[in-house]
Structure 1
């Protein structure tokens, strides 16, 4: 691990933190990126809730439809804050580039799941995709940990929910084959 990286909750003293104005602006940039992805996934999903999704068999542990947007909005908020914390601790986009690349990759995989599951109505392919997403989230957590323990830790609820989504996807696929 590079001496300029933090193993604690924030940046090490060797890394100059960005100024307050830039930091606040970047927090909003990260939140905008994350919620932009959320909106795109939601646009694919919403048109399929009352027709296709309502008509398929689901496992007993499937939450009520109203639970999903509440949980996802909270998790997307945590994702944006996590990316911002990793960026701040690293000191720049360049220094956090590898970790942020993994973050963007998992975000694209998150969106892709909605397209595959809800848009294409393909739970089998969505199952394969969500397993890759789970691995990408683990890689992002590990990578963010190189910069900020807090950035890594606040992604753990997202990983837990994604693993639950993996179970739901598997069950939907098995119940509807």
Structure 2
């Protein structure tokens, strides 16, 4: 009997298609136009840097959460490792380019991420919390698309799609995890 509903393969295929569509939508000539012939909107460099810094900071907090859950519940470590590695890659891709000059006056230099908080004693609950954090990350990146320039928007769309896939996979992992 064939299983009905969403499968992992179906979710990953849909996520990949969305990410590919986001990337391909922005591909075109060097005429400075986006899809539909509209001129690319200029986004201040400061806005782009702020969006990137926020994404990297949130990603660092999520990485710390992954580490805490894997440390507290070693049985989940193997399932979390590839997702954690992807989150680390997203952080490297989103990192703002290093400016030759010093940071602006009063701007913190690589501020440490906030404390990720305690980990639930139940491994299933801990993995579900990670799924919730990935959903929040997907939503935050999708919201940031509204103010990002075309290049950063494509990257954020791709990372948001990956975060949504992570949330799904973590939800499935939580169901498979013994309490």
TM-score between both structures, scaled by the size of structure 1: 0.47
**Richer in helix (by share):** 1
Structure 2 length as normaliser, TM-score? 0.46
